[in-house]
Structure 1
Amino acid sequence: MSWDVEAVRPVSVAGAPKGAQGAGMTGYQNDLIGDHPSILALRTLIERVARSPAQNVLIYGPTGTGKGMVARMLHRLSARASKQFVDINCAAIPSSLLESELFGHEKGAFTGAVDRKVGLVEAANHGTIFLDEIREMEPMLQTKLLSLLDTHEFRRVGAVKTTSVDVRFIAATNKVLLSEVVAGNFREDLYFRLQVVAINIPALAERGDDVLKLSDYFISRFNARYKRAIKGLSPETAEIFLQYQWPGNVRELENLIERIFILEDDDIVEPHHLPDRILRTVRGGSGAGPASARADLSMGFRAATEAYQRKLIEQALGTSKNNLKDAAALLKISRHALRHQMLKLGMIDA
């Protein structure tokens, strides 16, 4: 299953890092690796929201930016830190099970309900519930969640009496939720109820030199794990890292560094250690449109065409916040065709 009820323990947070632990406020602040203005502002906002009595928080951010880590940081810095933090991935639990998991059920409420079950909402009383990928919650459950947020009460499946709880709800999505409301995919009243406070996590490509600081962090961490002594990035690799758009964000960077530790023996990360899809993306040119194509004529027709296609796809993904369906619509092709083209260009793995 993809949810957990965890005991209180040191935790890593936004934008970096599992394993970066610290004591007190200073430790948590240091877990946010980087000094880009957007990260400095994010640190301040997290601290302020965590210590406020606001019970509903909505976190936005592309996939791989660390929404779950920010949620845990909000819990750790709050007055609820000694209570439970419950992590629920709304997309990973079948809708037929999610209601029972959230609210619990009475004995005999349905076939197979041989005992009373306490739900995760009740288990998190006085603590925090993190609802990841909230957009994927079914409409019926959206209605029940709205009622819970309004009244702080719920009924177990099959129960007559209500149960009262005091829980902070943190929801997260990688989609533009207001657009989902307009499209009829998400309740408008639930959207406004959740978004008492909104926290936006920037994409890695928007954080400038932070990608190099994060690379140094991951190299240090994997040096300890794999008992290696990799010194860092070569200047050429650092330049590639700064130019690459990182569609998978911090998670993609972390996975790439670990892949290098597993497959390569050198003590400096060189360009030839990187996947072809990254090299082709960066060396395909940084411009857009006909000017970019003219600059790449020396590559030959096929290579220049692929580089231009790759750039268009990157721009569409950036505009759509890495939502394939929306990116395909911008490119006026089907989602299947977009995925096929990305596979063909080596932008994603099969």
Structure 2
Amino acid sequence: MADYSNELVGNSPAIDSLRRLVNKVGRSPTRTVLIYGETGTGKGLVARMIHQVSTRAARDFVDINCAALPANLLESELFGHEKGAFTGAIDRKLGLVEAANQGTVFLDEIREMDLTLQAKLLSLLDTQQFRRVGAVKPVKVDVRFIAATNKVLLSEVTSGRFREDLYYRLQVVAVNLPALRDRGDDVLTLARHFIARFNRAYGRSVTGLAPETEQILLRYPWPGNVRELENLLERIFILEEENEILPRHLPDRILRNAAGPADRTLVPAPTDDPTDYHAATEAFQRELIGRAMSTAGDNPGEAARLLGLSRHALRHQMIKLGLLKP
């Protein structure tokens, strides 16, 4: 079994507190845990750590992204189905919940789950039993559910997109993951950790970060969090040949940030008339979207996630700002 205990890297007070909480939650008998955290903060890693320190560690840990499948397929993946339950169901299929009996199910992006399926999940949490799609008899299971979201679920409840009763059922224990920008020198600790990993993976001997590079990384706000840092360093390992990571190896978005104000806030790009509210607002939006697209590797779906928008809303805004042709 893989050991994830050494993957939660850092010495900041926020990470020390998180380690203690993970151990307490993992060893407790609670059947539900809710993890909050921005994209890239390591929600999947923390879920696996909770499983690993629990009495369920010898059993399966299964994970599923609730945003990756339409509602009907997600229901079948979770609960399984009987032969003939729907077109194409030529055999009985056991779902992930049944496969994880006495273990852990990790539901990533729980807020994307369809309301009808939320009701079935709530019933399962309350009764510890469910029916496969097309079945009559229920199946009894003993499973811990860890759910994760990058949004405040209470606002989803208020808007009617998430069931209030399910929210309170999941919220028994909440684990909040800190953003990388709030972890101080952990940025450098993580960078050294990833450099050591990529040295092994790529057969390299990169000695580390140049002092100037360290200062630039400390000033960058890391909207993509730990995942963004990891991807950045792997890209440098692939494209660069020097044995020290220099400022010129960093992408423009990070270098531009280093040349700006020392605080970690996004600043609107200058306009011809700084008193023009609409021009300044649009400049800020262009800068924000540009950074998100750069962080996401020009992937609109990931950029929308970073910005907390739907893909449709991001596309509409980019067309409005002249960043995309209709």
* TM-score normalised by L of structure 2: 0.85
Q: Residue 67 of structure 2 aligns to which amino acid in structure 1?
A: A
Do 2:130 and 2:139's aligned partners in 1 also have CA atoms closer than 8 Å?
yes
Q: Secondary structure at the match of 1:111?
A: coil
Distance 1:204 1:287, change over 3 A: closer
User: C-alpha deviations, 1:213-245, integer Å up to 9, x for none?
Assistant: 000011111111111111111111101100001
Structure 2 counterpart SS, 1:220? helix
> Equivalent residues in 2 for 1:224-303 (5 A)?
224-286=200-262
Query: What's the CA shift for 1:100?
Result: 1.1
Q: What percentage of aligned pairs have identical amino acids?
A: 59
Structure 1 residue 281: deviation in Å?
2.4
Q: Which amino acid aligns with 2:42?
A: G
**Amino acid of the residue matched to residue 148 of structure 1?**
L
Partner Cα distance (2:58, 2:234) in 1: 33
* Structure 2 counterpart of 1:197: 173
- Counterpart of 1:102 (choices 72, 78, 99) is 78
Measured in 1, the distance between the counterparts of 2:305 and 2:83 equals 44
CA RMSD in angstroms, aligned pairs only:
3.0
Counterpart contact for 2:219–2:264, Cα < 8 Å: no
1:88-126 superposed Cα distances (whole Å, 9 cap, x missing partner)? 111112222111111111111111112111111111110
Aligned-residue offset at 1:323: 3.6
272-281 or 162-171, which deviates more: 272-281
Aligned residue number for residue 222 of structure 1: 198
- Number of positions where the alignment pairs a residue of Structure 1 with one of Structure 2: 303
Q: Give the match for residue 335 of structure 1.
A: 314
- Closer/same/farther in 2, CA of residues 287 and 127 from structure 1, 3 Å limit: closer
> What TM-score does the superposition give when structure 1 sets the normalisation length?
0.79
Compute the displacement of 1:312 (Å).
7.6
Paired residues of 1:155 and 1:161 also in contact (CA < 8 A): yes
Relative to structure 1, the CA distance from residue 343 to residue 72 in structure 2 (aligned partners, 3 Å threshold; closer, same or farther) is: farther
1:1-350 matched pairs, under 5 angstroms: 9-12=1-4, 28=5, 30-286=6-262, 309=284, 313=288, 322-325=306-309, 335-336=314-315, 339=318
Specify the SS of the correspondent of 1:325. coil
Contact 1:230 1:266 in 2 (8 A): yes
**Structure 1: distance between partners of 2:121 and 2:264:** 45
- Change beyond 3 A, Cα 1:63–1:342: farther
Relative distance call for 1:233 and 1:301 in structure 2 (3 A) is farther
Which stretch shows the higher mean deviation, 133-142 or 96-105? 96-105
Mapped to 2, the partners of 1:343 and 1:272 lie a distance apart of 30
Deviations 1:21-50 (A, max 9, x none): xxxxxxx2x432111000000000000000
Question: Which stretch shows the higher mean deviation, 115-124 or 140-149?
Answer: 115-124
Secondary structure class of the residue paired with 1:31: coil
Distance change (3 Å), C-alpha of 1:276 and 1:338: farther
Q: Which range is displaced more, 86-95 or 206-215? A: 86-95
Runs of 4+ more than 2 Å apart: 284-289, 308-314, 320-326, 334-344
CA distance in 1, matches of 2:308, 2:92: 42
Distance of 1:259 and 1:136 partners within structure 2:
31
Amino acid corresponding to residue 10 of structure 1 in structure 2: A
- Cα separation, 2, equivalents of 1:325 and 1:94: 19
User: Partner letter of residue 85 of structure 1?
Assistant: F
Residues 129 and 246 from structure 1, CA distance in 2 versus in 1: closer, same or farther, beyond 3 angstroms?
same
Q: Structure 1: how far apart are the matches of 2:235 and 2:321? A: 21
Q: Assess if the C-alpha contact under 8 Å between 1:86 and 1:129 holds in 2.
A: yes
Distance 1:336 1:120 in 2: 35
Shift in CA distance, 208/340, structure 1 to aligned 2, threshold 3 Å: farther
**In 2 relative to 1, CA 310–97 (structure 1 residues): closer, same or farther, beyond 3 Å?**
closer
Structure 2 stretches lacking a partner, 5+ long? 274-279, 293-303
Cα distance in structure 2, aligned partners of 1:157 and 1:337: 38
Counterpart secondary structure, 2:18: helix
Structure 1 residue 322: Cα displacement: 4.0
Q: Secondary structure in 1 aligned to 2:62? A: strand
